[in-house]
Amino acid sequence: MKIAVLPGDGIGTEIVAEAVKVLNALGERFELEFADVGGAAYEKHGHPLPAATLKLAQDADAVLFGAVGDWKYDKLERALRPEQAILGLRKGLGLFANFRPAILYPELAAASTLKPEVVSGLDLLIVRELTGDIYFGLPRGRRAAPDGPFAGQPEAFDTMRYSKPEIERIAHVAFLAARKRRKRVTSVDKANVLETFQFWKDVITEVHAQYRDVELEHMYVDNAAMQLVRAPKNFDVIVTGNMFGDILSDEAAMLTGSIGMLPSASLNERNQGLYEPSHGSAPDIAGKGVANPLATILSAAMLLRYSLNRAQQADRIEAAVKRVLADGLRTPDIWSEGTQMVGTKEMGDAVVAAL
């Protein structure tokens, strides 16, 4: 089993090192191959996603990804910015299905900015379509406005579009995921305004005919943003497009109080996947040894479950994480009165010990 390990920028190297430690402690030999990605790759090879890195990822059974990005690359032309690496990997591997769970660990209820009764027991899953929508839609660019009241003036434009098969395949993923959970899907759209999302709603409704045991509701994205903070426990599975999924998944992550706890998985049709923490590269705390490695460690557990078919090993890791939390160990992002503050390495070591 071959795993491509791409630590990336900022805290990426520190947190991935801990996840690798945990993988190596399982008592099984995985073939781990490291490569540069993001700003780190740009510095060394002049491109955030060098051909060799993409090839390594494509040839692997799964990719363990840290994080990319740093403010210092904001001035680069778009094609060379670190974020292009993650977009290129999604496209290059066809990773259309993004799973972003938001789970509140009972031990961390105090970390949420919402009232405990609103969030305690929260367990929702965002299924975000990841290779279409306005993120990748062509044409896009800058030009002189061809018409309208500002004709001739400089303008920029992007294209929001979804094809029927793209919506169908993500719908199947969401309904199947709901079957293994509480059997409720909320499809989030903007059908009241956008053609693309009226089509989205129609196609989701059509696919639903094959999943009569699953309850389906449709919700406009603005309302969904509101319901997520009003009554988040009403959600089970949320399925939505690339853009809305990007925004709502950050909102959902924060309900739990620590984005440092949340893993994510991006899968293609062959269950080849990329696994990464939901948070970013956090350049402000990079190199200080204080980043929370648990989201990355839990991402490694998802990797074992979904791409390597090793559910038992995944269970072991998840149990070990619960154990260290129950023991009161906390990185600064989830620390509260009466718990023990530890750094990145100590947290990783504690998970290995709990294993």
By CB under 6 A, name the binding residues for ligand IPM. Answer: 83, 86-87, 246
Q: Which among ligand IPM, Mg ion, none contacts residue 111 (Cβ within 5 to 8 A by kind)?
A: none
Query: Least distance (Å) from ligand IPM to the CB of residue 90?
Result: 8
Catalytic residue among 21, 91, 123, 246: 246
Angle between helices 294-306 and 344-354 (to 10 degrees): 40
Indicate the helix (H) or strand (E) that contains 273: strand 273-277
Query: Least distance (Å) from Mg ion to the CB of residue 181?
Result: 23
Alpha carbons within 13 A on the beta-carbon side of 256: 28
User: Exposed (0-12), middle (13-18) or buried (19+): which is 51, by Cβ within 10 Å?
Assistant: exposed
Counted residue by residue, the chain has a size of 355
Contact footprint for Mg ion (CB under 5 A):
246
Q: Which among ligand IPM, Mg ion, none contacts residue 158 (Cβ within 5 to 8 A by kind)?
A: none
306 catalytically annotated: no
115 catalytically annotated: no
Nearer to ligand IPM, 50 or 277 (CB): 277
Nearer to Mg ion, 84 or 313 (CB): 84
Catalytic residue among 105, 135, 162, 275: 135
Nearer to ligand IPM, 158 or 246 (CB): 246
Q: Which among Mg ion, ligand IPM, none contacts residue 83 (Cβ within 5 to 8 A by kind)?
A: ligand IPM
Distance CA 76, CA 91 (A): 21
Indicate the helix (H) or strand (E) that contains 152: none
Residue nearest ligand IPM (C-beta atom)? 83
Give the strand pairing for 141-144 and 154-157. Answer: antiparallel
Residue with tokens 């853009």: 243
Query: Nearest CA to 347 among 18, 65, 26?
Result: 18
Query: Least distance (Å) from Mg ion to the CB of residue 129?
Result: 14
Query: Least distance (Å) from ligand IPM to the CB of residue 159?
Result: 17
236 catalytically annotated: no
Query: Least distance (Å) from Mg ion to the CB of residue 278?
Result: 8
Distance CA 240, CA 220 (A): 10
Nearer to Mg ion, 86 or 171 (CB): 86
135 catalytically annotated: yes
Give the strand pairing for 141-144 and 123-129. Answer: unpaired
284 catalytically annotated: no
Nearer to Mg ion, 246 or 346 (CB): 246
CB contact burial 236-256 (16+ within 10 A = b; e otherwise): bbbbbbbbbbbebbeebbbbb
Alpha carbons within 13 A on the beta-carbon side of 98: 28
User: Exposed (0-12), middle (13-18) or buried (19+): which is 208, by Cβ within 10 Å?
Assistant: middle
Catalytic residue among 36, 42, 105, 190: 190
Catalytic residue among 123, 158, 250, 327: 250
Residue nearest Mg ion (C-beta atom)? 246
Nearer to ligand IPM, 246 or 346 (CB): 246
Q: Which among ligand IPM, Mg ion, none contacts residue 87 (Cβ within 5 to 8 A by kind)?
A: ligand IPM
Query: Least distance (Å) from ligand IPM to the CB of residue 102?
Result: 13
Distance CA 45, CA 195 (A): 42
Catalytic site positions:
135, 190, 222, 246, 250
